[in-house]
Structure 1
Amino acid sequence: MGLFSFLKFRKSNKSPLRFDPGEYVPSFWKDDFCQIEIVPIENKSFIQKQIGQIEDLSEKSGTGYGFTETFIRKPMPTPTISKEIRIDYLERTLTGFQFQKAKHIRFDKSEVLDCESGNTKAFGFYNFTIFFDTEEEFVKNIWICINLIVSVPQFDLIQAALYTLGEECELILIDWSGLEFFDLADKRQIQKYLMDYWK
């Protein structure tokens, strides 16, 4: 995703709204956007190729203190919006697994996005949130933010929700920080990913 696209996404959702201190208000930073993303399985070969390119560049440009070059990820050949996942379907699915629906999102700490009027939505728990942005009645991008999971029931709900998305929508999860991807239609792969965040 290009910088212009991200700035457009950010501008269209900016809101100075105040929120109740007791409400579920997830947050994300600009760098979190699609860093752990959920995309159509048709992108699997493309993702594998990108991972290989990133690993090669990291090996060549690593200094021990950082990297001398950066890798700009290319857009997915099969964008999520092409799956025509309806907003109402995704919202109904997530609330069915007891995910809370956020009214607001903290963005880069200094901004508050309004989920009711904006095109960015969030569902989850204090330590796990599924974010998505929308275009008309469809889901455009899906990404997550995850922290330590300490409850077995919550672990099970998250795993079941991800599995449902994998089974019904043929989606995979790619974690660009760890350069790993997981087939969400395979419960063992989901569990393997979530266990990294299990206390």
Structure 2
Amino acid sequence: MALDENIGRKHPGDPIKSDDWNQLAEETRRLDAQKLDLGGGTVSGPLTVMGTLTSPTLGVQILHGDEDTWTFTTDKPDYQAALARNVTFASATSLLVAGHCSAQTTPKNGLQMVLSVDGAQLHQVNANSALSWGMATYWGVSPGDVSQPLVTMGVCTVAAGAHDFRLLIRSTTAGQPVQVRGATLFLLQVGAGSPT
């Protein structure tokens, strides 16, 4: 509602008409109902932000190894950390976690890659096999130096504080080496969350 500009141009002693008073009261009630409270609230309609929008629970972090950890090799059948990093969050945060690398293995051997947060694997393990939903798998089929890009993703919610994020790999055949290069974790902070 647009108020008459003369409402705000009163001088001491000028009378306030009841219509002007009613318009002020109605506008005050409207603003109270439609304002965005700085302490929190829900926007039920479209929201347009013309400036910078900041939030402790939105954003992206990219975690990678040091120069001397570009390549990681293992021949173990249990998961080994190709990349491990600690990240601290100011408040509870929901995350989409993605792991990426270039993978290589020997012929007729498999490489499996999963994610973990604070020691818990982010992928639901299939009861009928050692495979899990969301994991990445690469099977060597021919000799030679062929690398394949691998991506694995999972979701989680973390509490405020420090957390351990890991990109884990293993060889499906003990004693047969598998290798990843450029292991990277992407933490996409998608909003506030309540830890489960």
TM-score, length-scaled by structure 1: 0.20
Bigger relative contact order, structure 1 or 2, given CA contacts below 8 A and separation 6+? Answer: 2
Structure (1/2) with the larger helix percentage: 1
Structure (1/2) with the larger strand percentage: 2
Structure 1 or 2, whichever has the larger Rg, is 2
